[in-house]
Amino acid sequence: MDPLSISILILAALVGFTIAGVTGIGGGVILIPFLIWLVGPKEAVPIVSMAAFLAAISRLGLSWRQICWPVVGWMALGAIPFNALASYLFVLAPPAVLTRLLGVLILSLVLYRHTPWGRTTSVSSRQFFFVGAGTSIIDGFLGAPGPVRAPFLLAYGLTGAAYVGTSAIMVLIGQLPKLAVYGTNELLSSQVLVIGALLGLVGFLGSYLGRWVAQRASPRVFRLLIETTVFGSGALLIILG
């Protein structure tokens, strides 16, 4: 990769992981189109997985005390086995159409939250078993489950550091089986490891910048930032998918 390409990736990572530091999502969705363009889809998803794993460590450390552990427990129970399965299927044959379908699903979830039914819908901690299973399948293929997970975390009532910390630990839990599958199927090449580590280190800076912004945002503004990011992510996947 030439210096210009590396600079573009670093800038995209800084913007994406700063947004993730505020809203818990954004890093992977912003990076994926650039990485597919520069290195291709087979290397793009493993790179995003590694970068997201490293960046989530810093977000987790900043929000550790506010994590909602009942949600994490049920979500992880559903996520881990399905994430490994989806990652293995990605190794065999990633379907291109899934990207646009994911975009449509994301937009639908955001719009649903603003209907009379969506505004009164609540989610129990046990129902996050199904959220974890469903989003992990998306994670295994595209490496960006955050926009799909976000409406459910908001419906549960999580905001601020509780939202960011809970989302961050789910990123860590989700990436571990994926990286194991990618490693055993020779997808973690030296280029993937170097680029992923570089973008992950940029993610540390983004997490701190995002934390600074999040501490100054009211719950209403926080929800607006998340839903705007989610909506933009869905539109981006439809357009660029």
CA atoms within 13 A on the CB side of 66: 17
Distance CA 137, CA 204 (A): 26
How confident is the model at residue 121, as a pLDDT?
A: 65
Give the pLDDT confidence score for residue 116 in this predicted structure: 66
Angle at 149 between CA 191 and CA 237, to 5 degrees: 55
Length of the chain: 241
Q: How many CB atoms lie within 10 A of CB 57?
A: 17
Sequence spans of domains, the chain:
3-240
| Residue located via tokens 């992510």 | 233
CA distance 108 to 235: 11
C-alpha to C-alpha distance for 171 and 57, rounded to whole angstroms: 9
Per-residue pLDDT of the chain (241 residues; tens, 9 = 90+): 678 888 888 888 888 888 777 766 667 767 777 787 788 767 887 888 888 888 888 778 777 888 888 999 998 888 888 777 777 766 665 555 566 766 676 677 667 666 665 566 677 888 889 888 877 776 666 656 666 787 788 888 887 778 888 888 888 887 787 788 778 877 788 888 888 899 888 888 888 887 787 777 776 777 777 777 777 767 776 776 5
Which residues touch 99 (CB under 8 Å, ≥6 apart)?
142, 237, 240, 241
Alpha-helical runs (H) found in 64-159: 69-92, 97-112, 116-120, 128-142, 146-156
Specify the amino acid at residue 2.
D
Q: What is the DSSP string of 175-198?
A: HHHHHHHHHHTT---HHHHHHHHH
Question: In whole angstroms, how far apart are CA 123 and each of 146, 153, 158, 187?
Answer: 17, 8, 11, 37
User: pTM higher than 0.85, yes or no?
Assistant: no
Q: Are 27 and 16 in contact (CB under 8 A)?
A: yes
* Helices 3-23 + 219-240 axis angle, to 10: 140
